Structure 1
Amino acid sequence: MNEKPLRIGLVGYGLAGKVFHTPLYQAAGVELVAVASSDKNKVHADHPNVRVHATPAELFGDDEVELVVLASPSYTHAPLMLEALAAGKHVLSDKPFTSTVQEADEVIAAAEAAGRIATCYQNRRYDADFLTLRQLIDDGQLGEVVFYAAHFDRFKLLIQDRWQESEQPGVGIHYDLGAHIIDQALALFGMPDWVQGDVQKQREGSDIIDSFHLRMGLGRLRVELTAGMLVADNDLRYRVHGTRGSWIKHHLDPQEDQLRQLGMTPQDEGYGLEDESHFGILTQIDGDQSSRSKVPTLKGDWPAFYRELSVAIRQGNPPPVTALQARNTIAVIEAMLESSRTGRRIELP
């Protein structure tokens, strides 16, 4: 077995690369060896010993790089993944995996032909609240889940001059926050039987979809996912009802604020831990008796994604998010768009 840390080449050193990826590497036991960026000084201010390449193509030709991480605009993911795979690299794209299912299929075929892993960075599977919910479901404390609602809302009235607000393939809240909560739902329950959705441009002058409401069905389970940019009261995260009880959770996982606002690292005491006042409420039914209790939120662990991916690459195991799972998220997004356009419920194969 290769005992050396997995060696990473990062494409892009904006917010995603600087905040959501590189701070996790030490805790995950992986090593950043190269970055493709037009701002060499910005990279070296944080990582003075890392090689900086002027272009992604130069980074793909770096023999020391084993895994290429794409922290680049959404519409670049598919072409850059194909280029990285052709260079013999494993590749991890930020979400969304691709802009279309057709692109996802092309990436999957290229990865299989190259004998390399292609995966998508779904760090929200390692959110503190989502890990807690998975444990509640796995332990049977909710019984059979019959209703699942997840919200991922913001309040951003002003439109900023950045690629995330421009009309491009793979851009919009459905591909951004939506890709996370769709992936979480599919990770818990699998692909739905049908999808019904509504997408909007709610903010005046918005070029992108900035609100969506998605319903999915699987047997008697109903899933409801929403995200919007004009939600001032945006604390609600989950409402989950089952045959034995319900779990209601407010407040977002703390890791984003810890990394982005507080300057914490995963090595710091308290990283990934949620304040007790934010714990979710479990209501359980036993016969004709009901009980309500706070459920301590598990520790969030975004570095676990990289730890598991490193093991997958070294040992030939499936990655924490398979390319097929990443493709399925895009398939649901496309079905939601079709449903919103036609006003019909879309049956999935």
Structure 2
Amino acid sequence: MKNVLVTGGAGYIGSHACVELLEAGYRVLVIDNLSNSKTDALERVGGITGKSLDFIRCDLLDRDKLRKAFDVFRPDTVMHFAGLKAVGESVEKPLLYYRNNVSGTVNLLDVMVDSGVRNLVFSSSCTVYGEPDTLPITEDSPLGAVNPYGQTKLTIEYMLRDVVASRPDWNVSVLRYFNPVGAHPSGEIGEDPLGIPNNLMPYITKVAVGELPELSVWGDDYDTPDGTCIRDYIHVVDLARGHIKALQKLATDPGLMVHNLGTGRGYSVKEVIAGFRRATGQDIPCRIAGRRAGDAPAVYADPSRAAAELSWTAEFDLDAMCADAWRWQQKNPEGY
């Protein structure tokens, strides 16, 4: 399996996966509609690796163009990152999310069937677990998304289960991410959100660089050691390397696999702020605000299945996550 088609490969996680794929010797075609990404990321992937990849601007809803991309490149594996991912926007525009994420994946699977491609690594999310009753979260924890974004990921997961059950020659890896942060250590590629960031780390870096005045901490009265929410933050390079391990495992014909990709260690909002200050020497002005609806007090993974079955464990600690995120922000204060 050497020809890998990467959907959404110009995005934050997809571009880091492309680095790891090229460095591991794979031939890569990226398809991306560039709705929330830029080709600059792919040019920098080439600079980091010293290798080239192919790119076709294509929306997964354009089935004819998608089929032509398969005909030209002839992939044997697909890594599927393409999708809208803002929780708040998904609540406001649920049909947009179902059309883009679910219908786009149906098109992708149809073209894979027609093209004889049977290997898929799917970018899922810990949002499929909803608000967990017990911690840490295992792959067998109850499923129950609480917003349209998470529901699209869960719907796709169910769809993939049905596909594998109906077609025993398919091999599918479902990777449930926790909270990706950081950037490539070179500082050349990283997270470049449109507008005001929704996630903690890019918000912190934009406060540190002076683009935003302060960080709002949403609640400090949770039942956690310091009162702030706890999440499992994982370095994006660790996450990308997990995809390589999953891809390699597909060669053993495992059928359907589901793995959490997280560190197994939760960090509170205050711990992340302290880690950023420690790693960078930058002050982060903060304001304690009220709780946000839907924020669970703590969410973190049990990644032991990935360790046992994929031989994958996260290697980067919080300080490295913070330092790499800051290096990216310093080198690219306005993004790409």
Q: Which has the larger radius of gyration?
A: 1
> Shorter-chain TM-score: which interval?
0.3 to 0.5
Q: Choose between structure 1 and 2: higher strand proportion.
A: 1
Question: TM-score, normalization: structure 1?
Answer: 0.39
Q: Choose between structure 1 and 2: higher helix proportion.
A: 2
